Every structure is written in C-alpha cells, then in structure tokens.
Chains A and B, each alone.
Chain A
C-alpha cells in the first residue's frame, strides 16, 4: 500500500462492565479518546466507520449523536470481530482514493451490563436462509470452536496442554495491564483444571466477556506528519471470507490463509519480518490455527509453536497479545479485532507496557477472525510499520 494512511490516534475504553453507561455514550467515550490521542477534533472527521452494534441504522445515529457534520465517507461493514481490521483497510483505501482525510472507527457495546451474552449485537439471526437446516443447538460460539479444536487434535496431534499455553502466555502479559479483566498468572495445570465448557475446550480456553470498546483515527500522510503522536503506517492489508461451501470446508484451515498472503504481498514482507503479532484469540485454538494460516509456522505445527512460552514477551520467539488479549484483558462487545489493533499500535509506537514491549517494533501485525472459525467467517490481516 502506498505511503498514504496512518493511524494517528487510538483509545481503549477502561471499563469492562458498563453498568450505567449507554452504548451511545461508550461510542462517544472512545471517539473522543482516540481524537484526543491524535490531537484532532470532531470537526476534523470526514470519514466514519462502525459495526452493527452501533445503535441506529448503519452509522446514521452515531454520526448525529457524536456530532459529525463533515462526513463524506461512511462504511458500516460488519464482519464480527474482524470488522475493525476491515474498517482499517477500508479507511486506508478511502484515504488513498481521496474519499476522506480523517477517518474515525469506533466499537462499543455492553453485552455484560445488558446481559446479552456471547453473541453479536445488531444481527437478525431469524432472517438467515440456512437456519432451518441447522441442528437445534443453542448458538454458543464455543461449540463450533470446540469442533475445530478436536479436529485439529485429530489431524495434527495438537494437545490440550498446547492450547493451554496460549492462555498462559496471555495471563503472563495481563499481569502488567491494570485494566485487564483477568490478571492472575496461570499455569498449564490451572487451565486444564478449569471446567470443561465444550469438550475439549475448558473455560480458560475461552476469551473474556466484557463491555467497553475502542476507537482508531486514521489520517492521510500529510496530516499524520503534522500530529504529535508517533506515526504508524498501514503497510499492508488483506481480507478473505470462508463459509461451509456446500459442505466442503476444512475446519482446520481458516480464511487467514488468504488474508495473510494478501497482506504480506501488499506489504512486501514475510512472517519472519514481524516482531510482534496481535492474533485474534476468541479461543486458544483460534490462535493456533491463525498462526499456521498466516505462515508463522507450518500447518499442524501451531500447537508446538505456542508451547513452552513461545508467545510470551521476553521469553518466546513471537510475542503475541501483550495486553493480555481477549483471553485475559478485553473482548469488548464480543469483537476482539479493535483491541488487537490497539495493542499492535502501542507496540509499534514503543508504548506498550515496559515489561512486554518488544525491543524491535518497526513491523507488527494484527489479525482478526470474525464470525465462526467453524463456519462463516471473515479473516482480515493488517501489517503496521513505525515510521
């Protein structure tokens, strides 16, 4: 991607339980937070991006609520948790095409306070055409991921201990994050001792359920150069969608195979160039499959790759999710893509917690899987560069 789009401002909402705060207010909190970080104001924003959890039709209500009066570009693409990698890519494309200069991307929801549980807001599941032909099971995402995990175990010999290492790494990072939902350092034994929620996934193989959100401000290069924060360039992006394909899907391979290849090609890089990666961690198995699909290791080697602390900053070869990730820190609105990008930007700026900051942080990656790894999902990869 040409030298056109930069992340100029970021913000992660500190709350994990939004009792007493409305969804619209949360959107405002994160919007103002990210604009302040960038040193910009509402009147600078001419592009707006949000997902289906935003109250109102598309972005209409939030644009009015926030007071965005100069919008000339809006994109409300909803791909579940990867929406924000997609929004980031689309914002960069819109800026490159001259359709906007300052793009604001917000995510905010309150499934904990609102007692909505682990499902996507703003989606009418009664309308999907395949629903009558699906088995009568409750729509808990972990059921599909458990099937991915079991198949992965069968095909590649992946073990529950290896899955647990992903959580252990997240917990090591979360101890340094005062806002993390779970801060206790865990061992593999701790994870395996947690109750089985969907065999072979234990409770500790699952991400946290949190309220809150986050925002990004993406700007044109000329604007970025005038701002005070360390500029983070969007160097490459890729998106790919996968579904059951008439019943021919392979559960152990995600659309990340394609989204990663597209992003690396655009960036002119390979996985060996990446010093830090935010990897979508709705479940521990998600990380293992994605690391393989992105090319950080060969297919089937993900379990071995994550074991023995290889994802822990200061210990392993590839520090992953140094904020504690969705597994320990935050998974606001059941959409972990935003927080993945936020930590990648912190790392890229050199502003992660000193205990987890990677020493070389010029090239980082954030990858998301929205939807279900076991069915319809959108993978989206972004590669960021410190300038």
Chain B
C-alpha cells in the first residue's frame, strides 16, 4: 500500500520534528495569526483556522494533567498528559519517576527517551528524579575524586586464576596500560584465558577505550603455571574458586613468592578477609579487592578492609582502582561486604515471594518496573546462581526445597537452557515455564502455604525495604562508613537507578518513620527477617536524618 507512510505534508513536518527531537528539542507549532501553540503539527491553526503556522521550541516545562500506570505499559513507564508552559496539553509518557509520589498539577520536565524503534520520543520526568540524579552524580564524583598526595606507583599486576574473573581482571589491567601476569594450574585454562583477554583488549582498542600502551602490554602478557612469576608484581590478586580452603592455600603461596611491599588482594565476594589474611605471613598487606564480572567492563571496586590491613595497602588498592577507572569504595569486612549484603537480602525475600504466591516473572517485572536493570530470577539464571547456591551449601548440610529440585532437574540457568525460566536455543530471553510454576506450587503446598496474588505494593515492601534495612545494619556495624558509600556501591555495581538516588537516599525520601512502620508490621506478619535495624529504630526515635544536610537541600 504505497502512500500510507509517505503523506507528503506529514512526512515533511515529521522530518523536522524528529530532527529537533534528536537534538533534545520538542517542537510545537504556533499560529502566525493568533499566536497560539498546538501539539501535533499542522500547516494551519486548529484553534483559529488561520492557514499559516511556524515551529516554536517548547521550553520543556510542564505541569502534570493526569496519569496512569498499567501492567500493559513498558517497565517503569507511565502514561500521562501534561500541560506545557506554552499552553497545550499533550499525551506523553513519564519515565524515571516515582509513580507513587506523582501529583496532578506538579511540575514536570521534558526528557527525551528512546522509543521502541530507537527514535527519541518526548517524555517527562518529575523534579524529584532530577534531584536524585544530581545526588547520585555528586556521590559518584566524590568517590572518583583521586585522593590527595602522591599515588603509590603501579607497574605490574599478577592475577592468580584464569577463570572468567581472572580473564576480566587481566584484561582490565592491560587496557589500563599495566603489565600483567596470569597464573593458573592448568595450561588449557591459560590458553583459553589468553585468547579471551586478547579479544577483550582488541575490542577496547577498537572502541578507543584503551591506553596507548595496551597493545604492548598484551604482547608482554605472561601466562604461566609457575607461581614464581608473580615475584615482580606490585599487586597480586587471587581470583580462584570461592572456597575458603582454596583461597587460603593460594594466598599462602602468593605470600611465598610476592615481593616485599606487594599488595596481596583477594577477589572474594563474600568470604572473611581476616581468615584469608591469616594464611599469610603479612596480614597487613592483605586486602579484599571485590571486582565485578566482567571486570574490564563493570565500574565498581569494593576495597575490603581487614582487621590488619595497613593504610599503605589501602592506598595501593585505591591507586589500582583509579588506574583501572573503577569507582572505589572502601568497606568493612563482613559477609557479603556492602553490595552483596543488600543483594542477598533481596534474593532471600524474592524466593519467599515465590513461596507466598508470586511467580518468577512477576517478581522480576516488579523489579524492572522499579528501575533495576534485571529481576532476581533472570539474573540468577544468567549468573548460574542456582548451581552456585546448591554447591556452596553442600558442605553445610543445609537444604533449599526449590533450589535443590531445580538443580537436580538440570535447571542451572541460561547455560543449560533452563533455570527459573526456559530459553530458546541461542536466545537470552527468559520465557516463563509451567514446569517451574508447578514446582513452585508444589513447594507452597509442601510448606502448607495458601498461595495468593502479591500486589505490587507488597512486593515493594518485601523486596526493597529489606535492602534498605540491610543498609542501616551496615552503617550500624561500621561495614559502610557513610550512607553515600552504600548508595555509590549500588549505583555503580548493581544498577540502582540514579533517578532514585541510591538505596539510602531512597530510604530518606520515603521517610525513615514510614519504613520503620512497614518493617515492624512485616516483622509481626512474616517473621524476624524483617526486624528493623537498631540504627533505623534509634534514628526514628531521635528524629535524625540519614544525610545532613538533606541531600536535596539545593
């Protein structure tokens, strides 16, 4: 049907309208006679009938006329009408804004977003989101600011363990122009690692993201089974399988071969740094270097301070983070450190929601709707979480009704084509699976739970509030020094939406009293997993704020 898409007048106006949109400008059409602006451009004025109009740039300021949200809309999108400062009311979408906090008549700001076909479409955000984004940008910038004084010199990094994490770490070092040594027990692993690393570095060079020395560093990369090769490294990082005995053994060997003054880093994501440090003769040089996979891409480094870790070690770790262009946050030594502590709380409660009546796709849809990049169960499937959870539990004797059955059914995640979801060959798109649904129903029945629909508000309270509560506990335990640190970790490492500021910022916005009330009610209903942190209780009792002064005072 030629002609349908090529109406000449509409096509001409649309081309100019879209070109402006690409530049972030919303064009209105204004009458050359009555001066009134209208949306959806026409060559005549629909208000006075004059046949002559011209473009007028919208200021981007508007007020909210009405709005709705619906499961039928894309995640984190609300349908709305806004009244532009120029007069007309237009249908639009609201993005990156807290739906619960919207009020008719409130100001809104234009922000173009990508439509389904990739073209920019005019959307609006709430001013609260702009303030949260400003806060997020500020705390990240503060974390990224290079500490005063001379940074410890770094030339060579040695990585022990050629798995995915080791490959990423070596890639990151080479891209940053550091020379690197990779040690692994198996020749095959080293060969595989070298080719992956070469590809990673080549890609970074192609994208212009590598330092000039990267190519030369790649040529000079030493991949060896000989631990003695680490003897010239300034930083040694072990990245072997996450098991205490193995980590201790590897660190003891590193201790033997590393030069005096070298930093001994462990890339554990949950284990006790002090226990690992005790395997060495120099616990003051041991530090947790919690990188995120893929390490040459992900932006966060949690520097984990052990009891004995010396300031010089921390300074060197920080210098490495800066050199690798990571956002470094120094945190205390406790299970899961900062980032994973919140994550583990969320995952625990996500599983409990399945037991109570939700399905994986519903829990995940809530999370993406909240603005998180990926839901719990999609993430678990991608990261092989079922297998990891199963294997890590084997020496403890503990069982997990659902995970044990998923694992034994070969449902280990994306790699095996099925986990919490099923996957078509070659596709990463999670497809809800009736088999899993049946298993979850069986679980509820076995636990004597009468399944019920879980409304979004309850999902919010049972998934998000425990994360915030965990943040308070981290502050209380001194694992996180400041609320800003918790926020930085989740903004940079876990995809917390900047328009929600960060978990602790979000807690402050929602009101500490309200959060305490909800947690207390959930504790009564659901049990101790929801017990409010002592710090949260005392802050509410004393009327203290998390941030002083309020982060959006400006």
**Which A residues fall within an 8 A CB radius of B?**
124, 126-127, 129-130, 132-138, 140, 142-143, 146-148, 150-151, 154, 195-201, 244-249, 251, 374-375
Within 8 A of A (CB), among B485-522: none
B46 touches A246 (CB 8 A): yes
Kindly list chain B residues whose C-beta atoms are within 8 Å of the C-beta of A124. 4
**CB-based contact B121/A150 at 8 Å:** no
Can you name the residue of chain A whose Cβ is closest to the Cβ of B65?
Answer: A151
Q: Are A133 and B453 in contact (CB under 8 A)?
A: no
Bitwise, B75-99 to A at CB < 8 A (1) or not (0) is 0010111011001111111000001
Q: B17 within 8 Å of A by Cβ?
A: yes
Q: How near does chain A come to B350, taking the closest CB pair, in angstroms?
A: 21
The A/B interface has a contact count, at CB < 8 Å, of 114
> With a CB–CB cut-off of 8 A, which chain B residues contact A127?
4
Closest beta carbon of chain A to B307's beta carbon, Å: 51
B549 on the A face (CB < 8 A) = no
Query: B14: which A residues are within 8 A, CB to CB?
Result: 132
B40–A130 touching, CB < 8 Å: yes
Q: Which of B66-74, B256-264, B403-411, B420-428 contacts A (4 or more CB under 8 A)?
A: B66-74
B79 touches A247 (CB 8 A): no
Bound-state Cα–Cα, A246 to B17, Å: 16
Does B39 belong to the interface (CB within 8 Å)? yes
Q: Are B87 and A247 in contact (CB under 8 A)?
A: yes
> Given contacts A138-B72, A147-B68, A151-B65, are A246 and B79 in contact (CB under 8 A)?
no
Give me 20 A-to-B residue pairs in the complex whose CB atoms sit less than 8 angstroms apart, sorted by A's number: A132-B10, A133-B17, A133-B40, A134-B40, A135-B92, A136-B115, A136-B121, A137-B73, A137-B74, A137-B79, A147-B66, A151-B104, A195-B453, A196-B71, A199-B99, A245-B46, A247-B88, A248-B87, A251-B65, A251-B81
Given contacts A146-B70, A244-B39, A245-B47, list 15 more A-B pairs with CB under 8 A. A130-B40, A133-B39, A134-B40, A136-B116, A136-B121, A137-B74, A147-B66, A150-B66, A197-B72, A199-B69, A199-B70, A199-B99, A247-B88, A247-B89, A249-B89
Cβ distance B82 to chain A, nearest Cβ, rounded Å: 10
The closest CB in chain A to the CB of B456 belongs to A196
Contact B88–A246 (Cβ < 8 Å): yes
A136 to B121, CA, bound (A): 8
| Cβ A199 vs Cβ B68 within 8 A | yes
Contact indicator A143/B68 (Cβ below 8 Å) = yes
Greatest chain B CB density within 10 A among A137, A245, A246 is at: A246
Which of B10, B74, B115, B122 has the largest count of A CB atoms less than 10 A from its CB?
A: B10
Given known A-B contacts A129-B7, A129-B10, A245-B46, A154 and B73 have beta carbons under 8 A apart? no
B residues with CB within 8 A of A: 4-5, 7, 10, 14, 17, 36, 38-41, 45-47, 65-74, 77, 79-81, 83-84, 87-93, 99, 104-105, 115-116, 121-123, 453, 455
Interface pair A198/B66, CB less than 8 Å apart: no
Q: Point out the residue from B10, B39, B65, B73 that lies within 8 Å of A138, measured CB to CB.
A: B73
- Candidates B66, B84, B116, B121; contact of A154 at CB < 8 Å: B66
In the complex, are the beta carbons of A248 and B65 less than 8 A apart?
Answer: no
Chain B residues with CB under 8 Å of A148's CB are 66
Q: With the chains together, A361 CA to B197 CA distance in Å?
A: 85
**Which residues of chain B come closer than 8 Å to A135, judged between CB atoms?**
79, 91-93, 121-123
* Residue pair B66, A137 in contact (C-beta under 8 Å): no
Kindly provide the distance from the CB of B298 to the nearest chain A CB, expressed in whole angstroms. 31
Which residues of chain B are within 8 angstroms of A143 by Cβ–Cβ distance?
A: 68, 70, 72-73, 79
Assess the A198–B90 pair: CB atoms within 8 A: no
Q: Is the CB of A246 within 8 A of B38?
A: yes
Q: Closest approach, in angstroms, between the C-beta of B543 and any C-beta of chain A?
A: 33
- B89 CB contacts on chain A under 8 angstroms: 244, 247-249
CB <8 Å contact, B38 and A150 = no
The answer on a CB contact under 8 Å between A133 and B41 is yes
- Whether the Cβ atoms of B38 and A198 lie closer than 8 Å is no
Closest to B84 in A: A247
Contact of A147 among B41, B46, B79, B455 (CB under 8 A): B79
